[in-house]
Amino acid sequence: MVFFRSVSALSKLRSRIAQQPHINTSVRWLQMQSSTGQDLRSQLEEMIPEQQERLKKLKSEHGKVQLGNITVDMVIGGMRGMTGLLWETSLLDPDEGIRFRGLSIPECQKVLPAAKPGGEPLPEGLLWLLLTGKVPSKEQVDSLSNDLQNRASIPDYVYKAINALPVTAHPMTQFTTGVMALQVQSEFQKAYDKGISKSKYWEPTYEDSLNLIAKVPAVASYVYRRVFKDGKIIPVDESLDYGANFSHMLGFDDPKMLELMRLYVTIHSDHEGGNVSAHTGHLVASALSDPYLSFAAALNGLAGPLHGLANQEVLLWIKSIVDECGENITTEQLKDYVWKTLKSGKVVPGFGHGVLRKTDPRYTCQREFALKHLPEDPLFQLVSKLYEVVPPILLELGKVI
C-alpha cells in the first residue's frame, strides 16, 4: 500500500523518489489503466503476490525514512495530521476532496461503466477500481454484479437476531447486530482454524469481503423497513444491479431513485483510511479479526455523532427548520434561524469538515443530480438556500468553511 494518510508526508516521499532514480524502480506508483479479461478474483490472484513483494521491498529499502515530526497537539488531538496508516484506495485532498485511485468523482462518473448510457456509475465498477487500480469494462462489472447477487442470500437467524432487539433500537445498533450474526459464516475463521499459510490469508478474506458486501444491502434494507415501514422483506430482483437492488429492497423503485442510489453508494464506497470507521476497521483487522468482526467494529465508530451520525444530525436540523418555519421559508427567515442556532451555542450541522477546506465534491455531484432530476423539490430548495446563506455567516464569525 503506497498512499499515505498525510498529504505533506506523501509529497516529501514522492520528492525523494524523484531525486533518487534507483528508488523509482523499487517504488512504483499505481498507474491508471483499463482492465481487460479475467474475473476480479483472477486479477487479484496475479496482483497480490507482486504487491506483497513490493511492500517488503518498500520496508527493507526505505523503512528508516522519516515521514514527519510528532507534536503534543497531534497526540492529544487523536493523531490529527499524523502519518499513521498506509492506504492506497483513496486520498482525501483538503482542496480537491476525495480521489479514488487518483480519480476525482467527476472523472469516475465519466470512465466507470453505468447501467445506461450517460447514467451514474455502477458501484461494482468502483469496487473493481478500488481493488485493482484499473477501470473495468462493462462486461467485467456485469460479471461482478452477478457474483454479488449469487452471494446475497441471508440466513433466517440473521433476521431473528435483529428481531430480538426492540424496534426502537437505533438502526445502527440493529445493523451491527445483523453483521455480527453473519459472522458465523466467516471463511477466514474456518481457514485460520485449519492453519492456512500467511501468504494465503487474502483468499478467505476476499471471500468474506465479497460475501459481506453482497449481503449488507439486504440487512440494511430490512432494518430500514423494520423501523420505518411494515417490516416486510422485499426480495432481491435478479434483473437489477447492486445499487438499484438496494433501492428496490428499501422500497423505492422509481428509475430516478435507482440512479441516485447507484451514485450515492459509489461516492461513499471509500473515504481514505484516517477517519474513525476506516481506521477502526483497519485496526481491528490487524489482530486477524475477520472482515465481519472488523466491519462491525467500524460501524460502531460510524454510529458516533462526530462521524456518520452527523448525517442524521443534519436531517434533524433541517426537519426542525421545516417544523418551525415551513418548507417555503424565505432567505431572511433562514438567516435568522441560522443565527438562532449559533447563538444557542450549537453548530450548524453539515458545514465544516476535519480535512476538507472547500465544498465536498460528494455534495456537489448530488446537488447536480438534484438540479437535473428534482429542481423544484421543496427540501432541495431549502438545502440550496442554506448553501447560499450559511457560509457568509460562518465567515463573518471567523469560521473556516
**What CATH number does residue 161 fall under?**
1.10.580.10
- What pLDDT does 2 receive? 29
Please indicate, yes or no, whether residues 298 and 374 belong to a single structural domain of this protein. Answer: no
The pLDDT value recorded for residue 325 is: 93
The reported pTM is: 0.87
Contacts of 319 (CB under 8 A, 6+ apart): none
User: pLDDT at position 149, please?
Assistant: 97
In terms of C-beta density within 10 A (0-12 exposed, 13-18 middle, 19 or more buried), how is residue 28 classed?
exposed
Q: Where are the alpha helices (H) located in 20-82, listed in sequence order? A: 21-24, 40-62, 72-76
In the listed set 303, 328, 360, which residue is the last one of a domain according to the structure?
A: 303
Q: Which residue has the higher pLDDT, 274 or 213?
A: 213
The answer to whether residue 13 scores a pLDDT higher than 90 is no
Angle at 131 between CA 130 and CA 137, to 5 degrees: 80
| 320 in the same domain as 291 | no
Domains held by the chain: number: 2
What's the CATH code of the domain at 392? 1.10.230.10
Q: Which residue has the higher pLDDT, 79 or 279?
A: 279
Task: Please check whether residue 85 lies inside any domain of the structure.
Answer: no
Comparing 395 with 245, the larger pLDDT belongs to 245
Tell me: do 340 and 277 sit in the same domain: no
Residue 334 in domain: yes
CA distance 275 to 356: 12
Tell me, what's the pLDDT at 97? 86
Do 292 and 159 reside in the same domain of the chain?
yes
What pLDDT does 400 receive? Answer: 54
Q: CA nearest 279: which of 59, 79, 2? A: 79
pLDDT surpasses 80 at 14: no
pLDDT tens digit string along 149-198? Answer: 999 999 999 999 999 999 999 999 999 999 999 999 999 999 999 999 99
293 and 161 within one domain: yes
For the cut 50, the answer to whether the pLDDT of residue 19 exceeds it is no
Long-range contacts, 280-288 (Cβ 8 Å, 24+): 282/85, 288/192, 288/201
Q: Examine residue 211 and state whether it is found in any structural domain, yes or no.
A: yes
**Quick one: 291 and 363 in the same domain?**
no
Per the domain annotation, does 116 fall within a domain? no
- Rg, C-alpha atoms of the chain: 22
Shared domain check, 337 and 218: no
Minimum mean pLDDT range among 23-27, 98-102, 122-126, 224-228: 23-27
Summarised one tens digit per residue, pLDDT across range 72-118 is 999 998 888 888 888 899 988 888 889 999 999 999 999 999 999 99
Instruction: Answer yes or no: do 323 and 383 share one domain.
Output: yes
Q: Which of 255, 280, 303 is the last residue in one of the domains?
A: 303
Residues 284 and 377 in one domain: no
| Residue 349 banded pLDDT, cuts 50, 70, 90 | confident
Q: How many CA atoms lie within 13 A of 104 on its CB side?
A: 11
- Among 5-19, 46-60, 288-302, 365-379, whose mean pLDDT is lowest? 5-19
Q: Are residues 164 and 298 in the same domain?
A: yes
Per-residue pLDDT, 24: 37
Q: Please indicate, yes or no, whether residues 313 and 384 belong to a single structural domain of this protein.
A: yes
Q: What is the DSSP letter of 329?
A: -
Residue 27 binned pLDDT confidence (cut-offs 50, 70, 90): very low
Q: Per-residue pLDDT for 23 more than 50? A: no
Instruction: Residue 205: give the domain boundaries.
Output: 153-235+270-303
What is the pLDDT at residue 236?
95
The reply to whether 377 and 318 lie within a common domain is: yes
Mean pLDDT of 303-310: 90
